[in-house]
Amino acid sequence: MIGQTVSRYHILEKLGAGGMGVVYRAHDERLDRDVALKVLPPGIFRDEAARKRFRKEALALSKLNHPNIATIHDFDTHDGIDFLHSFAPTEKRGFVGERSGGFWPANRNGP
pLDDT digits (tens, 9 = 90+) for 23-81: 899 999 999 988 999 999 988 888 889 888 888 988 888 888 887 777 788 889 999 89
Answer yes or no: are the C-beta atoms of 35 and 28 closer than 8 Å.
Answer: yes
Answer yes or no: are the C-beta atoms of 13 and 24 closer than 8 Å.
Answer: yes
Q: Do the domain assignments include residue 104?
A: no
In terms of DSSP bridges, do strands 81-86 and 72-78 run parallel, antiparallel, or are they unpaired? antiparallel
Q: 2 or 97, which is more confident?
A: 2
- Which structural domain range is residue 11 located in? 5-90
Q: Quote the Cα angle for 96-35-43, to 5°.
A: 105
Q: How many domains does the chain have?
A: 1
At residue 73, the pLDDT reads: 87
Answer yes or no: are the C-beta atoms of 21 and 38 closer than 8 Å.
Answer: yes
Q: Do the domain assignments include residue 96?
A: no
Q: Which stretch of DSSP H or E encloses residue 61?
A: helix 48-62
CATH code, domain carrying 75: 3.30.200.20
pLDDT digits (tens, 9 = 90+) for 76-108: 999 989 999 886 555 444 554 444 444 444 444
The answer, as to whether pTM is greater than 0.85, is no
